[in-house]
Amino acid sequence: MDIVIVGLGKVGETLAHQLAQDGNEIYAIDLDPKKVDAITDNSDHIMGIVGNGAVHSVQAEANIKEADLFIAVTGSDELNILCCIIAQKSGCRAIARVRDPEYSAEASFLREGLDLEMIINPESTAAHEIARILRFPSAIKIDTFAEGRVELLKFKLPENSILENMKVMDVVGKLKVDVLICLVERTIDGETAALIPNGNFEIKSGDVLGIIASTQNAHTFFKKINYRTNSAKDVIVAGGGSIARYLCRELVRDGVNVTLIEKDQARSEELCAIEPDITVVNADATSKDLLMQYHVGEMDGFVALTNMDEENMVLSLFAASQGKVKTIAKINRSDFDDIVKKLDLDTIIYPKNITADVIVRYVRAMRSAMGSSMKTLYSVSRGQVEAAEFEITKASELTDTPIQALKIRRETLIAAVLRGKKVIIPHGPDTLQVGDSVVIVTKMKRLTDITDILE
């Protein structure tokens, strides 16, 4: 596909690289020559243009009339909308990033009125991701497939878990629940390695495991290993920015008791007015005494959403040290991702990466409509392991053959199958059928069709 991206901030840069790695041809537009030079130097599939993306002649230089999709992710909502309107005049589908809550409240009207393919709000999307994790606090990350019937959940294994020193092949038999351990993240020589385990792989404490299962079996699995499966009911949110506002609104709908701590008095008063169902505390969330006063260690969840990454990390570490509270920290910068991974943080939310992932999944769906069998894709271990869902639309060498007889590439798993409404965790004798939706977990790059998993 030919895709035009306007705005080379963190979201635009991430998008350009991910979409180029998928084999798309990218035109990247930005007013900053340094950003354009930097992104084009790193990929043969990205062509750069210095200019204003809202100018028709600049879009024409990016061959907008032949493009399949236009994405505007500058720092200005108004500029993004204007860019998309101009792109549509050339007959191109368009996606706009819109962050202002007032505009977001009108998202449906804007999308339909301007005929946009998607309006995405990074803060709202991040808040939804956080709320989803708080509904299942045992997980670090949750991805869903097969219309929500299949879940891939990541969690960290503590010391003295019943899974410790157990081989992957023995998990189902000993726990009597049909799940598949499809990912292990393990620290080796100070570096985090993502591994796709075979049956003989031995699980160790401190591993981050990824399991795939039906929604019901996932809950059963966590109960059997003595993990929490109940939603968080009492949550402290540190920081009162846009993400916090969206999050509090969603948590209140879920029946959660929310205490929000915001040090800016004017913002605190504003939040009191617009979110009357939460408790707003006008104070500095970095005060240890304050957090102890509000019994942080007895909370079900603690979410650090201040404007400083360092504060969010320290606050999360402190909250975790006080009890079995589920902690979530927002991190804006990914420059020091390797260092952050070494800290004993629970769940980390990168709003910019979430935004890019949503748009990438949409592009995958577009490609599916244009002939590819891929329905969606998630990065389950950033940069190392992906999980993709395919629909089998026709017979091939993959169908009607026992999985154990297929020559599947190394570090690739057929992880789950949806057949009708039935979720199947496949074993060696099972076969794939036309009409199945199949989840693949792999370290392969640029996987575009399910037959690519064969050697």
Rounded to 5°, angle at Cα 130 from 127 and 134: 135
Query: Computed over its alpha carbons, how large is the radius of gyration of the chain?
Result: 23
Res 372: pLDDT: 55
Rounded-to-integer distance, Cα 438 and Cα 390, Å? 5
Token couple for 163: 């899974």
pLDDT value of residue 357: 83
- Condensed to tens digits (0 to 9), the pLDDT of residues 370-393 reads 555 677 778 788 768 888 888 888
CA distance 214 to 321: 33
Contact between 97 and 76 under an 8 Å Cβ cutoff? The reply is no
Ramachandran angles phi, psi of 389, nearest 5°? -110, 130
What pLDDT is recorded for position 99? 84
pLDDT class of 368 with cuts at 50, 70, 90: low
Query: How far is Cα 81 from Cα 6, in angstroms, rounded to an integer?
Result: 11
- In this prediction, residues 32-49 reach a mean pLDDT of 91
pLDDT in tens, 184-219: 999 887 778 899 999 999 999 889 999 999 989 999
Task: Pick the closest to residue 400 from 436, 375, 425 (CA basis).
Answer: 436
Mean pLDDT of 228-250: 92
3-class SS string, 274-324: HCCCCEEEECCCCCHHHHHHCCHHHCCEEEECCCCHHHHHHHHHHHHHCCC
Q: Model pTM? A: 0.82
Cα(198)–Cα(202) distance, integer angstroms: 9
Q: Judge whether 2 and 67 are in contact, CB under 8 Å.
A: yes
Give the per-residue pLDDT at 408. Answer: 93
What sign has the CA pseudo-torsion 128, 129, 133, 134? negative
pLDDT at 104: 67
Helix (H, G, I), strand (E, B) or coil at 405: helix
Q: What is the pLDDT of residues 381-428, one digit of tens each?
A: 876 888 888 888 889 899 999 999 999 998 899 999 999 989 999 999
Q: What is the enclosing helix (H) or strand (E) of 350? A: none
Residues 6+ apart with CB under 8 A from 185: 154, 192, 193, 194, 195, 207, 208, 209, 210, 381
| Res 304 pLDDT > 90 | yes
At 143, which amino acid appears? D
Output the CA–CA distances (angstroms, integers) from residue 50 to 29, 59, 84, 169, 272, in the order listed. 6, 11, 18, 54, 44
Q: Rounded distance, CA 258 to CA 239, Å?
A: 12
Least confident range from 39-48, 290-299, 328-337: namely 328-337
Q: Are 133 and 139 in contact (CB under 8 A)?
A: yes
Taking residues 327-333, report their average pLDDT.
Answer: 91
- In sequence order, the 6+-apart residues with CB closer than 8 A to the CB of 329 are 303, 304, 312, 313, 315, 316, 345, 346, 347, 348, 349
Residue ranges and CATH numbers for the domains of the chain are 2-120 (3.40.50.720), 128-224 (3.30.70.1450), 234-349 (3.40.50.720), 357-453 (3.30.70.1450)
Share of the chain above pLDDT 70, in %: 96
- Interatomic CA distance for residues 117 and 91, integer angstroms: 12
- Separation between Cα atoms, residue 18 and residue 238, nearest integer Å: 32
Angle at 16 between CA 13 and CA 21, to 5 degrees: 125
Quote the pLDDT of residue 214. 92
pLDDT computed for residue 369 by the predictor: 54
Q: What number is the average pLDDT over the span 116-138?
A: 90
What CA–CA distance (Å, rounded) separates 125 from 182? 26
Q: How many residues make up the chain in this entry?
A: 455
| Mean pLDDT, all residues of the chain | 89
DSSP state of 31: S
- The C-alpha atoms of residue 20 and residue 446 are separated, in whole angstroms, by 10
Tens-place pLDDT, residues 148-189: 889 999 998 888 899 999 999 999 999 999 999 999 999 887
For 63-111, the pLDDT digits (tens) are 999 999 999 999 999 999 999 999 999 999 999 998 887 776 677 777 7
The token duo for 71 is 């994405």
